[in-house]
Chains A and B, each alone.
Chain A
Amino acid sequence: MTTTAATVAETLVTPDAKPTRSPARRRLGRTLIFVAMAIMAVIMLYPFAVMILISFKTNAQYLIGSGTSTQTWQQINSTLPIWQELWNSTVVCSLSILIILVIGVMAGFSFAKLQFRGGNVVFLAIVSAMMVPLQAILIPEFVNIAKTGLTNNYLGAVVVYAALGTPFSIFLFTTYFRRIPDELIEAGIVDGLGYWGVLWRLAMPMALPAIATVTVLQFIQIWDDLLVGLLFLQNPSERTITVGLAALAAGHTTSIPLLMAGSLVSALPAMIVYLVFQRFLVRGLTMGIDR
């Protein structure tokens, strides 16, 4: 129906030299785009549909492919240490992000506002550490941290996450603090705040959007990470939820519905943070481009 309308409109319009698009053809185009986007939406929602649908089956129902049950959800607490793992993830995330923020704000302020000799070289060196993949240094890193005994508690993973997240945070805060006028800093110094006071009482509050960006990006990154947690949290009781999930998946006896329920639980916090703070995420991703 729409197609015919469009063809008619097209033949009517053709005599015109300029291909000004007729409303009918335009509508057709937009309908096609809508359909394409809807199909894309189905694809992108697929993981969530799978997790929800399969988690409402027993393992037997999953294997035969029909039936629903809430049994998996009722038993999830007794079959998976879900609360413990959520707590572990929260602790590891919070401690790492705190270190990343404090160190990043301090260094960013210094690089942006307290020009000292060699500052630019050090800045470049630290920022280029962003490009070093963990796997490249994984082996010595693991041996070093294991020797200190930190792999037996949260701190092993926390320091590694902090080291991996700090370069980006420094880059972001430096870019951000460069926008603060020098006069403001000087005024703070003249008022007797000292550099320490200017940093925490003047500059830091102005950097709240950057703090939000770093927090959101790092939260999702650390919450979702497997490799660091897998190696640097040696006690199963300190595993994050993502590591717990992967370990469960590796043991082949596990029921798939249980894995899907666990996946959904693990995904929810990051999804909520993500939906609420979407705009900070976008800003962080494109920080390097629009200066």
Chain B
Amino acid sequence: MSLTASLSASTNARRNPRTSLLTKRRRRVGVLLILPALALVGLLIAYPIGQAVYYSFTNWDGLTTQWIGPSTWVQAFHNPTMWTALKNNAELLLSVPFALGIPLLVAVMLHQRVAGWKIFRSIYFLPTAISWVVIGLVAEHFFAYSGTLNSLLSDIGFSGAHTNMLGQENQALIALGITFVFSMIGTNTMLFLTGLATLDPSLEEAARIDGAGAWRIFRHITLPHLSRFIQLAFVMTVISAFSALFSLIFVMTGGGPGYSTTTMEFLVYQTGFNQSMFGTAALYGIILFVITAIVGIVQLRLIGAKD
């Protein structure tokens, strides 16, 4: 016993300098290999966050800076346009249940594997590949006065209900929300279908034999199994609602009519590049950053709680 111990101790002693030399080398290589990543992410993502905070306290047109303290912040919070943008963002969140619910339903239907389900799957995913610029252009045609929506409405006898959704302040945001839901269907369906594929089919079979109906199976077996996937889809959808609508808004409404479809992300662009108020635009960016960070942290907490 003591012999083995001393033996191994002596081997350790002999090996130690060599090991630590190797370890040192490994660590040095390790640091070297992450340097490019650190430089790229540091310079182009981390550093601008700091800059944005600094510039929000200055009067800045992109060329000259002048420290003016927190007055930009005071102005921003008294600016009704910013509150309109935040309100639009909040209202767009109402589309999130649809952006999750429809894909969930679609995925469950696909999972039944009726004839042709593979073809349907490919068809549902296909719009995921195309740019939201293209989807926005098509949606513009759909909602236009002489577009598909109105001809559908008159086909089913509602010719009096002719609308020009994108041109009306109280409807444009709804049209944008519908387009957003359409754009999220592919990705979220894909997520849920992957989740369903990991579900053990014998579980459902056992429940069915025990006499559980389709709804109960869904409610008590399928849904709990999908919870992680639903969480991920939820966060991705919420973050998209805050930061991925730029293309749709740019093409479909340009933020209008009025400010009725201007969201925070679009307000950053407008304030910076249409009005050249870089300090204020940077400030709006920080607010957007804080909102998405909160969503992200809540998500981490949720996952942490589950693990």
Please report A residues at the B interface, Cβ cutoff 8 Å: 18-19, 30, 33-34, 36-38, 40-41, 43-48, 50-51, 54, 65, 99, 102-104, 106-107, 109-111, 114-117, 119, 122, 125-126, 128-129, 131-144, 146, 159-160, 162-164, 166-167, 170, 189, 195-196, 199, 220, 223-227, 230-231, 242, 245-246, 249-250, 256, 259-260, 263, 266-267, 270-271, 273-275, 278, 281-282, 285-286, 288-290
A44 touching B33, Cβ below 8 Å: no
Closest to A275 in B: B122
Q: Which of A41, A189, A199 contacts B123 (CB 8 A)?
A: A41
Number of CB contacts from chain A to chain B under 8 A: 280
* Chain A residues touching B, majority SS: helix
Task: Knowing that A167-B41, A226-B250, A286-B194 touch, tell me 9 more A-B residue pairs with CB under 8 angstroms.
Answer: A37-B117, A133-B243, A133-B289, A146-B62, A163-B45, A195-B29, A220-B129, A224-B133, A226-B246
Tell me the minimal C-beta distance from A96 to chain B in angstroms. Answer: 11
Q: For the complex formed, measure the closest distance between the CB of B28 and the CB atoms of chain A, giving whole angstroms.
A: 8
Asked if B114 and A227 make an inter-chain contact with CB atoms under 8 angstroms apart, the answer reads no
What 9 pairs across the A-B complex have the smallest Cβ distances? Answer: A114-B30, A133-B243, A224-B131, A136-B289, A163-B44, A274-B129, A140-B51, A137-B48, A110-B33
A47-B135, A65-B146, A133-B242 are known contacts. Are A107 and B194 too (CB-CB below 8 A)?
no
B274 interface contact, C-beta 8 A: no
Pick from B25, B243, B251: contact of A134, CB under 8 Å: B243
Q: List 18 A-B contacts (CB under 8 A).
A: A34-B116, A47-B135, A107-B33, A107-B37, A110-B34, A114-B26, A115-B26, A126-B37, A132-B45, A132-B292, A133-B292, A136-B288, A139-B268, A226-B131, A250-B251, A263-B133, A275-B129, A286-B191
Residues of A within 8 A of B268 (CB): 135-136, 138-139
Docked-complex contact A47 and B138, CB < 8 angstroms: yes
**Assembly CA distance A210 to B133 (angstroms):** 28
**Neighbouring B residues of A146 by C-beta, 8 Å:** 62
Chain A residue with Cβ nearest B303: A288
B 36-50 to A, binary, CB cutoff 8 A, 1 in contact else 0: 111011011111110
Minimal Cβ-Cβ distance residue in A for B134? A263
CB-CB nearest in chain B for A126: B41
Q: Which of A36, A48, A138, A141 contacts B126 (CB 8 A)?
A: A48
Shortest CB–CB separation between residue A101 and chain B, in angstroms?
12
Q: How far is the CA of A160 from the CA of B270 in the complex (A)?
A: 20
Q: Is the CB of B242 within 8 A of A139?
A: no
Number of B residues whose C-beta is below 8 Å from A? 93
Residue of B nearest to A240 (CB): B131
Q: Is the CB of A260 within 8 A of B137?
A: yes
The reply to whether A128 and B296 form a contact with Cβ atoms under 8 Å apart is yes
Assess the B138–A51 pair: CB atoms within 8 A. Answer: yes
Most A-side CB within 10 Å, residue of B48, B110, B282 = B48
**A33 and B112 contact, CB distance less than 8 A:** yes
Chain B CB count within 10 A is highest, among A43, A227, A246, A259, for A246
**Who on chain B is nearest to A283 by CB?**
B194
Residue B261, interface by CB 8 Å: no
**In chain B, residues 109-141, which have Cβ atoms closer than 8 Å to a Cβ of chain A?**
109-110, 112, 114-117, 120, 122-135, 137-138, 141
Q: How far is the CB of B162 from chain A (nearest CB, A)?
A: 15
- The CB with the most chain A CB atoms within 10 A, among B110, B124, B131, is that of B131
User: Which residues of chain A have C-beta atoms less than 8 A from B285's C-beta?
Assistant: 135-139
Q: Are A266 and B49 in contact (CB under 8 A)?
A: no
Chain B residues lying within 8 Å of A99, measured Cβ to Cβ, are: 40
Asked if B34 and A226 sit within 8 Å, CB to CB, the answer is no
